[in-house]
Amino acid sequence: MAQQLQAIRGMHDILPVDMPVWNQLQDQYRALVESYGYREIRTPVLEKSALFARSIGEVTDIVEKEMYSFDDRNGDSLSLRPENTAGVVRAALQAGMLQDQQQRLWYCGPMFRHERPQKGRYRQFYQLGAEVCGIAGADIEAELILLAARFWKNLGLQEIELQLNTLGSSACRQRYRELLVSYFRDHSDRLDEDSSRRLESNPLRILDSKNPDMAPLIEAAPALHDSLDEASREHFAELRDILDRVGVSYRVNQRLVRGLDYYCHTVFEWVTDTLGAQGTVCGGGRYDGLIEQLGGKPGHAAGFSMGCERLIAMLIDQGRAATETGCDVYLALRGADCAALGQRLAEEIRDRLPQLRLVVHAGGGSFKSQMRRADRSGARIALILGESEIEASSISIKFLRDAREQIEVSQAEVAQRLPALLQES
């Protein structure tokens, strides 16, 4: 026998039993974002590698070591998208959607990062996201945060904390960066290997270090908030004011910098303690510089992205996950010549009851084995078509989940009777 092939490590099948909770998440998200006036956008999973190098930044974990990149047949370097913000902005620019226009967009789809697979961290994972272009005010960051908060509420999820920070304008960030470099350079003997590497290239990322040995040094580093200019302070104050007045609680976390180069002003994460080490379920912020970096006119943009697998783990842990319900009705065929009539009858029922989940037995087999399949299908009712029913132009109805007696109804009436019979069972 040939050896069975397995899926790639860190890439998971989403099986039929998993689909109800996936659909629950995606359907609720779609309904929610559309109720806020966001429109869906889908971009390719493959883009030119340059798109990510330019937008996410050369010196980030993602571009340095997490991208799936390869040369196309013509020599172009392509990458599977590690995130979708760059792709969405690229697409919106390309379609001329950002010329003096506001855009509220949302997406859902798989992302790819070559990380060490573990609970909550995969090599193919799904994100739900939102991106807004063309709005400068902090009111739009507030809207994005309110939208996410409502999503947790609709899903019934508890114990997700909002952490908030500001990185200030790019000028403030530049100033702060210099302060940081000189501070860490003065203590270069205490930097670990990752941090030494980041010292010149991406010093803000040192603040993000998970190494406990680095904690005291990071704790004593100059604070970014001291480098903020007046306009940056005001932007952050406006956001906080809206959140306070609407009643969204949050914690300001000055160490929150987010990994990607393109953020400015607001950054935020929604974090939970309930998932172990991989506790961030949503991250986002403002990224005004990105549009220009990708060849557009200077503009404004903000957005967030959520990890589906982590949210699904929470739904399951908190007993909120939808589960499989099976079909409603299973049509069993007793006797050799019933197949054609069975299919015809089923089509008539489908014409009248398009929402009904009706499985027609296929592949023959004894009546007993058909009833076993009917039971396993989850159906509440079995329709039985045999020679005696054909003669009488009727069909038998057997109740699989309760003690009601089997009945026989005319074929002409069955579609009309089924809804009530299913309700009773």
Residues that bind ligand ATP (CB under 6 A): 83, 113, 115, 120-122, 125, 127, 259, 278, 280-283, 305-307, 309-310
Nearer to ligand ATP, 210 or 368 (CB): 210
Q: At closest approach, how far in Å is the CB of 269 from ligand ATP?
A: 7
C-alpha dihedral, 9 to 10 to 16 to 21, nearest 10°: 170
Nearer to ligand ATP, 61 or 328 (CB): 61
Q: At closest approach, how far in Å is the CB of 43 from ligand ATP?
A: 16
Nearer to ligand ATP, 25 or 306 (CB): 306
Q: At closest approach, how far in Å is the CB of 171 from ligand ATP?
A: 24
Q: At closest approach, how far in Å is the CB of 180 from ligand ATP?
A: 20
Q: Residue with CB nearest ligand ATP?
A: 307
Nearer to ligand ATP, 33 or 349 (CB): 33
DSSP 108-163: EEEEE-----BTTB-SEEEEEEEEEES--SHHHHHHHHHHHHHHHHHHT----EEE
Short-list 228, 225, 185, 186, CA closest to 203: 185
Q: At closest approach, how far in Å is the CB of 282 from ligand ATP?
A: 6
Backbone angle region of 229, left / alpha / beta, with phi > 0 → left and psi within -120 to 50 → alpha: beta
Cα–Cα distance, 191 to 214 (Å, whole number): 7
Q: At closest approach, how far in Å is the CB of 186 from ligand ATP?
A: 28
Cα–Cα distance, 136 to 300 (Å, whole number): 6
What residues contact residue 385 under an 8 Å CB cut-off, 6+ apart? Answer: 331, 332, 333, 334, 338, 341, 342, 345, 395, 396
Short-list 358, 350, 356, 398, CA closest to 377: 358
Cα–Cα distance, 282 to 287 (Å, whole number): 16
Nearer to ligand ATP, 305 or 343 (CB): 305
Nearer to ligand ATP, 176 or 268 (CB): 268
